[in-house]
Structure 1
Amino acid sequence: MNLDPALLAIIVCPACRSDLEVQAEELVCSGCGLAYPVRDDIPVLLVDEARKPA
């Protein structure tokens, strides 16, 4: 995954507005735990597409 650090500094979780952390091929919310996929180096920040925390 090749995401621009400037982009990572400004995007937040659309569900709870917490910071997102890069983990494997996903962006994981530090607040609610939703994991958002990254497809072709583009974050898909749709709650309906997010994986629920275990």
Structure 2
Amino acid sequence: MPLEAGLLQILACPACHAPLREEPAPEAEETSELVCTGQGCGLAYPVRDGIPVLLVDEARRPA
């Protein structure tokens, strides 16, 4: 289930405060993830059951 556009406009990366964009998740258990658009950050936050998990400890580091 995609997130609402209005929600994406107000969400920001907890680590660097850059905007986030929604992408399909590489793991099977999550349907999508929110990826930081900030240069040098790039953390990917999971979306579980339609709820973004914006915790730095839960984020996937860029490869």
For the aligned pair, the TM-score class normalised by the smaller chain equals over 0.9
Shift of 1:2: 2.3
Identity rate, percent: 67
Q: Which has the larger radius of gyration?
A: 2
Aligned to 1:33: 42
**TM-score normalised according to structure 1 size:** 0.94
| Amino acid aligned to 2:2 | N
CA distance in 2, matches of 1:51, 1:27: 10
Number of aligned residues: 54
Question: Which sections of structure 1, spanning at least 5 residues, go unmatched?
Answer: none
Provide runs of 4+ in structure 1 moved above 2 Å.
none
Cα distance in structure 2, aligned partners of 1:2 and 1:44: 14
CA-atom RMSD, angstroms?
Answer: 0.7
